[in-house]
Amino acid sequence: MTSEHHTETRAQRIAMVALFAALLAAFGMIPKIDLPLGVPITAQTTGVMLAGCMLGARMGFQAMVLFLAAVALGLPLLSGGRGGMGVFFLPSAGYLIAYPMAAAVAGMVMRALAGKHSSPARLAACAFAASVAGGIVVVHAFGVLGLMLLAKLSFVQAAVGTLVFVPGDLVKCALVALIVHTVARGLPDWRFGGRRL
């Protein structure tokens, strides 16, 4: 690999990380639905799942860290125009902090399940499973911990409270699967989950 090709590849990776961080911000433009639990329903976890499935564990993780760093600096990128360090001390903070790990897990599962020559339908099924693992299991595990620590709920209260998000999250998983299927048909060489071709 030449130095020029290596530089180009690195530049492309940086661009993809920045693109998916921006995509997550775009999902934040969709209005949130506030719940008494103190955790809003937002579309942004769709971007988390998509980053893991499309970019893979490492780049998906990096995209989420970049996004959260921008939020911490005060940019109003969260749904409802929220930003700043204060959002990391709200009852919803656990869900938010989970984003990098959720994208990483989704990427790892996607890579493990997707073969080198998988059909678009198989890749869509892999994306759904990866989205459930990262976007539901990981995000809700962190979310429950956040509710216990910051909202002072018991484990049972937090676990039951977070169940309200699951039906909508399953719809998001299906949407990610549909997007992956569409991309796989149009761009068959895309390295879903960072898999090797």
Give the DSSP letter of residue 118: -
Question: What is the amino acid identity at position 17?
Answer: V
pTM above 0.85, yes or no: yes
Question: What is the amino acid identity at position 66?
Answer: L
Of 182, 176, 78, 88, the closest CA to residue 132 belongs to 176
Which secondary-structure segment (H or E) carries 80?
A: none
Q: What is the pLDDT along the chain (197 residues), one digit of tens a residue?
A: 445 445 558 889 999 999 999 999 999 988 888 777 778 888 999 999 999 999 999 999 999 999 999 999 999 999 989 999 999 999 999 999 999 999 999 999 999 998 777 899 999 999 999 999 999 999 999 999 999 999 999 999 999 999 999 999 999 999 999 999 999 999 988 989 887 54
Domains, the chain, ordered by start: 3-194 (1.10.1760.20)
Q: Residue 39 and residue 12: Cα distance in Å, rounded?
A: 35
Tens digit of pLDDT for each residue in 138-147? 999 999 999 9
Q: What's the gap between Cα 56 and its chain centre?
A: 11
Which secondary-structure segment (H or E) carries 108?
A: helix 99-113
- Predicted pLDDT at 41: 84
Q: 13, exposed or middle or buried, with CB in 10 Å at 0-12, 13-18, 19+?
A: middle
Q: Are 60 and 20 in contact (CB under 8 A)?
A: yes
Which tokens in the block code for residue 174?
């299906």
